[in-house]
Chains A and B, each alone.
Chain A
Amino acid sequence: MTSASSAKLQVRNISKVFETKKTKTDVLQDISFEVGSHEVVCLVGPSGCGKSTLFNVISQLDQPTTGTVIHTGRLAMMFQDPALLPWLTVDKNVAFGLDRKQYSKTEMSQLVERYLKIVALEQFGSAYPHELSGGMKQRAALARTLIIEPNIILMDEPFSALDAQTRERLQQFVQTLLQDYPVSIVFVTHDVREAVLLGDRVLVLTKRPAHIRSEYKIDLPRPRRSFDSNLDSYIRSITEQLQAEALLYT
């Protein structure tokens, strides 16, 4: 399915060691995977195993100790924290990543308006981030990511801090996004149901140092709903994998 030629993102033999004067922490150990175009790959793994570190390496915010990352097209990351800039209004936060030389002022505000509508925040353009709820902040961050029309989006537990209803809405939103845009997504989550709901494949990571323990192909039609009963068998076996992982060497 993901032959090297159609792959949007190739992660090859990535290892990462954090070194301080006294300690050496192995965080990632020989991680390789590919993400095809229009594919969603979900990563699940124990807390602190190195998922955010892997994303930092993929997005080149951090250097790997060994290995390479190859991607085609534009890559954007949604952080675990919405990371809106508190000194800018929502409008300006959403426009933050747009290249100012490429767009006129009116084009920019039209784009911002369009993407605010997509995340249902059109009435909050002139608010400051502190005036938004947690879910609204995360949606604004999503608009800021989508507006640059990335080919690959890395999402680091983007919905974990949200209430169940908002999360459900945004999960559905991600699925419609997949229909409308040719985008590839790598999605980190703690929530196995969310992984099965959104993923074409789910990769289970081990405890630190993280490597890929197992891989599941989720052969279910879309759109999926989180209460669909055909998710359950996948959820059961992935959860078992994670539990086995938690029991190892403790």
Chain B
Amino acid sequence: MNKFTHSFLKPLLGWVGLFLSWEIVVRLKIWPTYIFPSPKRVLMVWWDLLTSGELLPGVFVSLQRLGIGFMIAVCIGTLIGLGLARNKNLKQVFGGLILGLQTLPSICWLPLALLWFGLNEKAILFVVVMGAVLSITVAVEGAVRTIPPMYLRVGKMFKLSRWNIYRRIILPAMLPTFVTGLKQGWAFAWRSLMAGEMLFITAGLGQLLMVGRELNNIAQVMAIMLTIILLGLLIDLLVFGVAERHLHKQWGYIKR
């Protein structure tokens, strides 16, 4: 009961509050409804998009791009991160560069991607990868660097090979921090994807959003926005939340 209250009822309260205040603002008639539609209207448009078969293909295309781009970013980012963490020279040479590049909003890579790959899937994938890869690199590097030296000494004491130190000590020891890093990287990938899809017209949620704008259909814009928020929340909760909770329980962290 208590758990149910904490993890379901209280968050629900926030959403109900949002929709209520939204409804109140609409009823005050400050703006005409074609500029500020009611929640009911938005939900109806959302239902129409869903049943007419426009929404799900868009969701599917976006999630597919996200999945592929994120996987590539995780592989590359993890390798570079491990390399940086274990080799002082690499870190000194490339560390600053990577931090610098990380501050560049990933959508800035789009013009370059369009020139390199043309107007196609690869360009958008490139933007997604660039959005996530550096933050994952930095997270992995930090995760390895902050492994308590004690664990490494246990590995050395038992005369593990270099490869086994990675496999049996470093990788499992960095896992909790790594998952947190992945979560952050995922958020960057998701944002980059949406930005990319809006600027660069192809199927996907970002495009549905722009179509809504072109048709002056604010209700559609809001419906798609809600969809994007909901998807983000679901992935965060179901994928990363579950993984984090499992690890924290195993390691005995107290989570509040």
Q: Are B156 and A96 in contact (CB under 8 A)?
A: no
Q: Chain A's nearest CB lies how many Å from the CB of B144?
A: 15
With A61-B157, A96-B158 as known contacts, state yes or no: A83 contacts B151, CB within 8 Å: yes
Please tell me if B72 contacts chain A, counting CB pairs below 8 Å. no
Please tell me if A53 contacts chain B, counting CB pairs below 8 Å. no
Q: Which residues of B contact A11 (CB under 8 A)?
A: none
Roughly how many angstroms separate A87 CA and B247 CA in the complex, as a whole number?
A: 8
Q: Which residues of B contact A96 (CB under 8 A)?
A: 154, 158, 168
Please tell me if A216 contacts chain B, counting CB pairs below 8 Å. no
Q: Are A87 and B173 in contact (CB under 8 A)?
A: yes
* Other 20 A-B pairs with CB < 8 A, given A79-B154, A83-B154, A87-B175: A61-B153, A83-B151, A83-B153, A85-B151, A85-B154, A85-B172, A85-B173, A86-B250, A86-B252, A87-B172, A87-B250, A96-B158, A96-B168, A97-B157, A97-B158, A128-B251, A128-B252, A129-B252, A130-B252, A131-B252
State how many residues of chain A have any CB contact under 8 Å with chain B: 18
State how many residues of chain B have any CB contact under 8 Å with chain A: 15
Interface SS of A by simple majority: loop
With A85-B151, A85-B172, A87-B175 as known contacts, state yes or no: A61 contacts B156, CB within 8 Å: yes
Please tell me if B115 contacts chain A, counting CB pairs below 8 Å. no
Interchain Cβ contacts under 8 Å between A and B, 19 examples? A59-B157, A77-B157, A79-B154, A83-B151, A83-B153, A83-B154, A85-B151, A85-B172, A86-B250, A86-B251, A87-B172, A87-B173, A96-B154, A96-B158, A97-B157, A128-B250, A129-B252, A130-B252, A131-B252
Most-contacted residue by chain A among B151, B158, B172, B175 (CB, 10 A) = B158
Q: Chain A's nearest CB lies how many Å from the CB of B146?
A: 14
Q: Which residues of A contact B175 (CB under 8 A)?
A: 87
Q: Which residues of A contact B157 (CB under 8 A)?
A: 59, 61, 76-77, 97
Please tell me if A245 contacts chain B, counting CB pairs below 8 Å. no
Q: Are B158 and A79 in contact (CB under 8 A)?
A: no
Q: Which residues of A contact B151 (CB under 8 A)?
A: 83, 85
Chain A, residue nearest B252 (CB): A130
Please tell me if B150 contacts chain A, counting CB pairs below 8 Å. yes
Roughly how many angstroms separate A144 CA and B222 CA in the complex, as a whole number?
A: 59
Q: Are B153 and A79 in contact (CB under 8 A)?
A: yes
